Amino acid sequence: MADILPPNLLQERPRTPAGLLSNAEKDRLIERGFLGLYRWYTARSQETRNWNADRSFDWRHLRKDLPPEVVTVMQGFFAVEQYAPDFTSQLVHLVRRSHGRSHFQLRWGSEEEKHADAWENAVLFSEQRSPEWIAEYKERLRSQTWELPFPDAIHNLVYTVFQERATQLNYLNMMKIAQGKSEKPHLAGVSDPVLAKVAQTIAVDEAAHYNFFLEGVRMYLYYYPERTLDAIKNVIGQFSMPAASLVPDWQEFSETVYRAGIYGPRDFQRDVMQVAFRNLGIESRKALEEGIRKTREVPDFEGQNARTTAIFDTFDYGQIEGDVRRLHVKIQDYEQEIGFDKLDPTEFIENPEVPRQGGQAADD
């Protein structure tokens, strides 16, 4: 078509096929979704998870005879969370033009800071590391800087989904050990109510973080399916936990975590990747990679905003549309409670690119 248009009409040709959303409009809708989600998240966080790392736990009664393996794991958790200032500053800078995302990262950072303080308290009150040792260890940790694993916002957003789920799993399994429920012989009978409460409290935070980032990826998956699926494929292909290259005794920590039944490669496959895939309507890693390959074989719309249909066979688009609609209902309910709905409401706009059958909506 472009070859036979007169040169004077080429400039007038619309960049977006008729009936489709422009990238600018998609970006606006995603940003409004993030802003509404941030407002809802912050209110809920302040109402239900407003704990303090010093006062919310009975530190004096933390066991002083915890097994060395448990203390090693606590030390590793403390080490990773020490990079909260880097995690926060790098991500805020990356998304600083987005109100909802940048302000959420500040809120997220304040919650991660509490995790760092709580795990430091756990190590200190175990009395198996001296205050001097902890101070020197922190200095070693903070002498290095954590850097973003990916250069762009969408890859880092996807990364945080898998990272937060993996972190939550680590803390939940530590909680089980502290509740005396470990199936490992060398940890049988270990029980510490204070440690169990610490791990559970932080795990609840990590679940909230996972859900925020998950909702964000769902919005991207709804409006930019091909780009988002490609980012998911890239992230899981090179995933590693944050600060693995910075913590000086990472090898000992990771081996101890594995032997304790807290986290390992099988846990990532079964309880992180597959859980996230299920929440994103993706059947499996193989299905994801095959779907992306087929999509790239479909010719695009003469070089302009391709409307490819093969990508919609890669995941359950109806599930994602239903999830995004429900997110907007939650945001709208919150806006009605505050009064935003009268002045500046958040609206859900359907993505017309998805193939429909018999005129039905994707989640009908």
Question: Considering only CA atoms, which of 277, 115, 272 is closest in space to residue 205?
Answer: 115
CA separation for the pair 155, 226 (Å, rounded): 13
In a domain, 335, yes or no: no
Q: What is the model's pLDDT at position 289?
A: 82
Token pair of 9 as six digits: 């009409």
- Would the pTM count as exceeding 0.75? yes
Task: Output Rg (C-alpha) for the chain, integer angstroms.
Answer: 23
CATH code at 162?
1.10.620.20
Which amino acid is present at 6?
P
Taking every pair of Cα atoms in the chain, the longest distance, rounded to a whole number of angstroms, is 83
The domain in which residue 196 lies consists of 23-209+237-262
Question: Considering only CA atoms, which of 90, 219, 243 is closest in space to residue 154?
Answer: 219
In a domain, 295, yes or no: no
In a domain, 354, yes or no: no
* Number of structural domains found in the chain: 1
Angle of the 131-142 helix axis to the 99-125 helix axis, nearest 10: 150
| Exposed e or buried b per residue across 299-338, where buried means at least 16 C-beta atoms within 10 angstroms of its C-beta | eeeeeebbbbeebbebbbbbbbbbbbbebbeebbebbeee
One pLDDT digit (tens) per residue for the chain, 364 residues: 333 333 343 344 344 454 689 999 999 999 999 999 999 999 999 999 999 999 999 999 999 999 999 999 999 999 999 999 999 999 999 999 999 999 999 999 999 999 999 999 999 999 999 999 999 999 999 999 999 999 999 999 999 999 999 999 999 999 999 999 999 999 998 999 999 999 999 999 999 999 999 999 999 999 999 999 999 999 999 999 988 999 999 999 999 999 999 999 999 999 999 999 999 999 888 888 887 777 665 554 444 444 455 666 788 999 999 999 999 999 999 999 999 999 999 999 999 887 665 444 444 4
CA separation for the pair 314, 299 (Å, rounded): 17
Q: What is the model's pLDDT at position 357?
A: 55
In a domain, 35, yes or no: yes
In a domain, 352, yes or no: no
In a domain, 347, yes or no: no
Q: What is the model's pLDDT at position 97?
A: 96
In a domain, 323, yes or no: no
CA separation for the pair 114, 202 (Å, rounded): 9
Question: What are the backbone angles phi and psi of residue 190, rounded to the nearest 5°?
Answer: -70, 130
In a domain, 305, yes or no: no
